[in-house]
Amino acid sequence: MRVISGTAKGRPLKAVPGTGTRPTADKVKEAIFSMIGPYFDGGQVLDLFAGTGGLGIEALSRGMDRAIFVDLEKKSVDVIRENVQSAGLDNRAEIYRNEATRALKALAKREMRFDLVLLDPPYRMKKLDELARMLEELALLKPGATVLIECDASRHYEARIGGLSQVRHSVYGDTAIYVYRYVSEIPESGSHTNEGVDQHE
């Protein structure tokens, strides 16, 4: 694994020992950032099920100002810390070991607001739409923020999740990517911005 583009391009990233963490494949990572970037003019990113930290590190490398990484597993947190340091981005990162909903509540107490939220949990985890709604309810999203869901291709998420409107849905083998934009206001019937599904090998 490596950082694909930006200021830390080419820096190697360590994997988490064992089989519990599923790093995003490079081709899927490249596709993700072509949808949501590919580069950023500052902003704050939350990598909530960070695993190796690969997605959040890529966002920092491509121009985000600061990143918060959260994972429940100690071995993942240790690997994230190593990867952030090896990418030379440790001065722009905060890393926490915590459960996702508790982390969101803690961030809300700090009145944090994010431009980009990355939800890439273990594929067995369901109900990511509930977490997406929680982001809105806790006022953790800036206007126009992007929320990305990476999940098993068999999962389906609606075109609207509260104030989040789906703008892309792509499938790469057994991986599905959903991209939502936080628009807050509910559009009139029939005017959502779902652009359909891209199917890839």
pLDDT single digits (tens) 104-158: 999 999 999 999 999 999 877 888 999 999 999 999 999 999 999 999 999 999 9
What Rg value do the Cα atoms of the chain yield, rounded? 16
Domain segments of the chain: what residues? Answer: 26-200
d(CA 8, CA 88): 7
* β-pair type (66-71, 93-97): parallel
Q: What is the pLDDT of residues 11-30, one digit of tens each?
A: 999 999 875 666 788 889 99
pLDDT of residue 126: 81
- The pLDDT value recorded for residue 199 is 59
Q: Which residues pair with 141 in a beta bridge?
A: 114
Kindly tell me if the per-residue pLDDT of 77 is higher than 50: yes
Query: How many CA within 13 A on the CB side of residue 47?
Result: 28
**pLDDT exceeds cutoff 90 at 1:** no
pLDDT of 197 over the 50 cut: yes
Decide if 161 contacts 179 (C-beta within 8 A). Answer: no
Residue-by-residue DSSP string for 66-87: EEEEEES-HHHHHHHHHHHHHT
Calpha distance 71→78 (Å, rounded): 10
Say yes or no to pLDDT of 189 above 50: no
Query: Under the phi-then-psi rule, with left for phi > 0, alpha for psi from -120 to 50, and beta for the rest, what region is 18?
Result: left
* pTM for this entry: 0.90
CATH for 26-200 is: 3.40.50.150
Nearest to 24 by CA among 7, 49, 6: 49
Cβ density class 123-155: b for 16+ within 10 Å, e for less: beeeebbebbebbbebebbeeebbbbbbbeeee
Instruction: Kindly tell me if the per-residue pLDDT of 74 is higher than 60.
Output: yes
Tokens 């930006």, residue? 6
